[in-house]
Structure 1
Amino acid sequence: MDGKIKLLTVEEVAQHNKEGDLWTIIDAKFHPGGKAVLLDDEVRGKDCTELFYSLHRSEVLLRPQYARLQIGTIVGEEERFKPLPPGSLSPVPYGEPAWLTRPFKSPYYKESHYRLHKEFRKICDELIIPEAKRCEETGDRISQKLGPGPHLKGLKLLAGLLLGQESARAGQRGFIDGFLAGAYIGSKVVALAISEAFAGSDVSGLRCTARKSEDGKWWIVNGTKKWITNGTFADYFTTACRTSKHGLTMIVIPRGPGVETKPIKTSYSSTAGTAFVSFDDVRVPVSHTLGEVDKGLKVILSNFNHERWGMVVNTVQLMRNIVDETLR
């Protein structure tokens, strides 16, 4: 082949139907194929678009590694599925939130929300979703080019629903957790360190302790945490510590001497950075206390409110992904 895309007829394709010279038509294009699949009498030299799409997503045809397989296009035929440009809305019914479906008008969204959505969806399509797929395949840590940057300095983002929804379109749950979990807690990479092997998520049963030094200037933290999202690469750990028999205190512990993290393999992804975290006589300034001493449960539950809300947003979008994928 000379590498150029040719225009050929269905009849010409039909002549290439033997082992060693095998073409087949897929969505107005034709491709050479391996004998294990394509030597069937209903496939070789024929249009097998319906069969192909019963087994593959349309995006398969767009992967760079398969570009060499496209020999040409069929005269007089148009592609059934054309890739949407970055930032586009899905044409599938119920594939988008109602407020994005014109002429529906929601009183909760202004034109600024529509503009933000359009720009952020383009970022997701061009950067975040490809990065999510790469990380889920390799298990790599999420690229730091997607982390907090100077463009957010001094700004307060009140569109968490919108941003969480769009990020979830990546459809990769481990990536979503690693990408968003720290953002719910702080502007750097911060892990929420609450769950323990002894108590799971039973906050009242936590055993990690913090006691004050004799001069009252330091917390001395000892204990372990388990299943901590972002733990393997977190800069800080927002940690629930027992400071009295019936009281918990939230302390922000920086990664440093006495802090050790070990990766935990999970059944869904290593991209979330799930870790076992241990604190061994870790000295933390008392100024790192969040809220009041012995009243950390209030801090924990107030964070759970929007953290769980974020999980709901992600889950709803993942269900939309299923609808979109099934009907597209």
Structure 2
Amino acid sequence: MTGPQSSQGAAAQRIISLAEVKQHNTADSNWIIIDDTVYDVSEFADMHPGGAGILQDVAGTDATEQFYALHRIEVLTKYKPRLAVGRVEGVTAKVKLPEPGALSTGVPYAETPFDMGYKSPYLNESHRAFRIAVRTFCDTHLAPVAQQADLAGEPVSDALYGQMGRCGLLAARLGPGPHLQFWPDGILGVVKPQQFDYFHEAIVHEELSRIGAAGWVDSLGTGFTIGAKQVLLFGQPALRDGVGAELLKGEKRIALAVTEPTHGSDVAGIRTTARLSDCKQFWIVNGIKKWITNGHQSAYFTTAVRTNDRPGMGGISMLLVPRGPGLTTRPIKTSYSAAAGTALVIMENVKVPVGNLLGKEGKGFMIIMAGFNAERAFICSGMIGAMRRVNEECFKWACQRKIKGVALIQSDAIQLKLASMISAVEAVAAWHEALLYQRGAMSFVEQNMKLGGPIALLKYQITRVAEHISDEACQIFGGRSLTQTGMGRGAEQLRRSVKFAAILGGSEEIMAQLGVRQALRDFDGSKL
């Protein structure tokens, strides 16, 4: 093999002595050492975001400590193929550049206990293999574009979203079920439909959230995750086979449209109406939905409407509303990225075929309530993935950041913070696993009867813990946690997005109230 790439690869394998490196100590010929590798940064210096001077200060020397004090390891992943000229004679690499799909098993508590080598009553090798496959997909296709797109407010491209659909990642976000039949050879070629369980689903949510860039990650199908299953479970066969297949394969996008400007958690009070046309072939929909995730990008809306004049929950039905004449969306600016496509959805005399009714007329409230368990469990999974990633970054940073020559990790105060963060996440993660097991062991009806309260309380506790993790991470990273790029990026992103989990799918106050009220329902009245 010949050509630029092979020549570059050969150069990177060249063995270079320390004495030779020291000779390249000028602006015109600037070599530096990072770990075991020699980099020629002469031409790169003028493009260096921190200016050429800082590179000139370390010309001809080992700059490993200075580099890791200021840069994430992904910088080396990006620039090593272009700038590396050889390896240092007699030096063995201390830091291994991460490979796509690699688990962070060398960082305590960065992964699930099972993936760290402990025994689990719930997980098996199919879950480990699936996590590696999902992380490989994320590292290869999603993470390289996530941060820039998130800052620019650009959602995932149609091509990449379609790729997620074709390999089964979108379908996996809906949990086990007959919708997985389109992938008989396995999701990502790893887990067969008959093997797939709620733990596999949770792995997808966790791994996507580990990317960070929460607004952009929400463009990867949050609307699909909370709005597509109603079509598959309650839609008529023609709707399931047509629109349902389009959604699963990533050909079209969908959003859940329940919340209104005047009604959020009070679902029974929604005002959007749907009335039969004179020809009885269409529902005519009028109303406004607000804060609809992915709404600005979606072709379909799983929509809560009032189909009769009965007050409260009895008058609510669910319709699949296609984007068309009379339906407009306007983007809503939020505290995280515009990439999520959060929208105001305005429906003015929108004609919806009567066959787009989901379930029975007047029974929409129960469909909404049934969907809340899955939505809240999805939020819990995502937050656990995000928190574990932030804990991992805090642990790494505390070990590599030095003040007066002493690593932060040696401080009693930092150790106490890390102990609090780790124990809080591991506790809610264990509760989360226990409830995932219950979901798999119960029928759909039994889940709705028994798990609404526990899942609500879990969501409440997880978002309380997330606030704590976010706060402590910001203190550990200091000023770096206030910038959207660089070392503290993960802490900044969690701080900016944590309230979305605490409010969407039911606010913390509503979750706490629901959990205790359901517990009271089962109370036998015994006395002290």
The TM-score range, normalised by the shorter chain, is 0.7 to 0.9
Instruction: Please say if residues 154 and 216 of structure 2, whose CA atoms lie closer than 8 Å, have aligned partners that are also in contact.
Output: no
**2:505 — aligned with what?**
none
Correspondence 1:251-290 to 2 at 5 A:
251-290=319-358
Amino acid at match of 1:185: G
Question: Whole-Å Cα distance in 2 between the matches of residues 73 and 82 of structure 1?
Answer: 14
Q: Secondary structure at the match of 2:298?
A: coil
CA deviation string 1:192-218 (max 9, x = no partner): 012222334542442222122234442
Instruction: Please say if residues 129 and 169 of structure 1, whose CA atoms lie closer than 8 Å, have aligned partners that are also in contact.
Output: no
Instruction: Please say if residues 128 and 146 of structure 1, whose CA atoms lie closer than 8 Å, have aligned partners that are also in contact.
Output: no
Question: Whole-Å Cα distance in 1 between the matches of residues 145 and 63 of structure 2?
Answer: 32
**Compared with structure 1, are the counterparts of its residues 147 and 259 closer, same or farther at alpha carbon in structure 2 (3 Å cutoff)?**
farther
1:78 matched to 2:78: no
Shift of 1:253: 0.6
Correspondence 1:1-20 to 2 at 5 A:
4-5=11-12, 6-20=14-28
**1:185 — aligned with what?**
227
**Compared with structure 1, are the counterparts of its residues 28 and 150 closer, same or farther at alpha carbon in structure 2 (3 Å cutoff)?**
closer
Instruction: Please say if residues 32 and 62 of structure 2, whose CA atoms lie closer than 8 Å, have aligned partners that are also in contact.
Output: yes
Question: Whole-Å Cα distance in 2 between the matches of residues 269 and 305 of structure 1?
Answer: 26
Question: Whole-Å Cα distance in 1 between the matches of residues 107 and 382 of structure 2?
Answer: 19
Correspondence 1:76-225 to 2 at 5 A:
76-90=90-104, 91-102=106-117, 104-133=118-147, 135-142=149-156, 143-149=160-166, 152-154=180-182, 157-158=196-197, 159-181=200-222, 182-186=224-228, 187=244, 188=247, 189-225=253-289
Question: Whole-Å Cα distance in 2 between the matches of residues 221 and 150 of structure 1?
Answer: 35
Instruction: Return the match for 2:361 from 293, 310, 313.
Output: 293
Q: Secondary structure at the match of 1:214?
A: coil
Instruction: Please say if residues 13 and 45 of structure 1, whose CA atoms lie closer than 8 Å, have aligned partners that are also in contact.
Output: yes
**Compared with structure 1, are the counterparts of its residues 19 and 114 closer, same or farther at alpha carbon in structure 2 (3 Å cutoff)?**
closer
Shift of 1:281: 0.4
Unaligned 5+ residue runs, structure 2?
1-6, 46-51, 169-179, 184-192, 229-243, 248-252, 397-528
**Compared with structure 1, are the counterparts of its residues 113 and 202 closer, same or farther at alpha carbon in structure 2 (3 Å cutoff)?**
same
CA deviation string 1:253-301 (max 9, x = no partner): 1112221122333332122222221111011123322233333222222
Instruction: Return the match for 2:376 from 308, 320, 325.
Output: 308
Question: Whole-Å Cα distance in 2 between the matches of residues 23 and 326 of structure 1?
Answer: 31
Amino acid at match of 1:49: T
**1:45 — aligned with what?**
60
**Compared with structure 1, are the counterparts of its residues 105 and 25 closer, same or farther at alpha carbon in structure 2 (3 Å cutoff)?**
same
Instruction: Please say if residues 259 and 267 of structure 2, whose CA atoms lie closer than 8 Å, have aligned partners that are also in contact.
Output: yes
1:240 matched to 2:257: no
Instruction: Please say if residues 195 and 203 of structure 1, whose CA atoms lie closer than 8 Å, have aligned partners that are also in contact.
Output: yes
Unaligned 5+ residue runs, structure 1?
none
TM-score by length of 2: 0.56
Amino acid at match of 1:183: T
Instruction: Please say if residues 236 and 253 of structure 1, whose CA atoms lie closer than 8 Å, have aligned partners that are also in contact.
Output: yes
- Give the total of aligned pairs: 323
Question: Whole-Å Cα distance in 2 between the matches of residues 9 and 211 of structure 1?
Answer: 81
CA deviation string 1:298-325 (max 9, x = no partner): 2222212111111111111111111222
Instruction: Please say if residues 258 and 280 of structure 1, whose CA atoms lie closer than 8 Å, have aligned partners that are also in contact.
Output: yes
Amino acid at match of 1:16: H
Which of 31-40 and 304-313 deviates more?
31-40
Question: Whole-Å Cα distance in 1 between the matches of residues 34 and 167 of structure 2?
Answer: 46
Q: Secondary structure at the match of 1:46?
A: coil
**2:471 — aligned with what?**
none
Which of 245-254 and 118-127 deviates more?
118-127
Q: Secondary structure at the match of 1:99?
A: coil
Instruction: Return the match for 2:390 from 319, 322, 325.
Output: 322
**Compared with structure 1, are the counterparts of its residues 138 and 67 closer, same or farther at alpha carbon in structure 2 (3 Å cutoff)?**
farther
Amino acid at match of 2:162: K
Instruction: Please say if residues 226 and 255 of structure 2, whose CA atoms lie closer than 8 Å, have aligned partners that are also in contact.
Output: no
Question: Whole-Å Cα distance in 1 between the matches of residues 83 and 101 of structure 2?
Answer: 28
Which of 305-314 and 8-17 deviates more?
8-17
Shift of 1:16: 2.8
Instruction: Please say if residues 282 and 354 of structure 2, whose CA atoms lie closer than 8 Å, have aligned partners that are also in contact.
Output: yes
Q: Secondary structure at the match of 1:224?
A: strand
CA deviation string 1:51-100 (max 9, x = no partner): 11011111101115x64333332111122221233222212111101122
Q: Secondary structure at the match of 1:271?
A: helix
If asked which structure has higher relative contact order (CA below 8 Å, sep 6+), I would say 1
Amino acid at match of 1:278: I
**Compared with structure 1, are the counterparts of its residues 117 and 21 closer, same or farther at alpha carbon in structure 2 (3 Å cutoff)?**
closer
Shift of 1:124: 2.4
Question: Whole-Å Cα distance in 2 between the matches of residues 154 and 75 of structure 1?
Answer: 53
Question: Whole-Å Cα distance in 2 between the matches of residues 17 and 59 of structure 1?
Answer: 25
TM-score by length of 1: 0.87
Instruction: Please say if residues 225 and 375 of structure 2, whose CA atoms lie closer than 8 Å, have aligned partners that are also in contact.
Output: no
Question: Whole-Å Cα distance in 1 between the matches of residues 357 and 288 of structure 2?
Answer: 18
Higher strand content, 1 or 2: 1
Shift of 1:129: 2.6
Q: Secondary structure at the match of 2:219?
A: helix
Percentage identity across aligned positions? Answer: 39
Shift of 1:239: 0.8
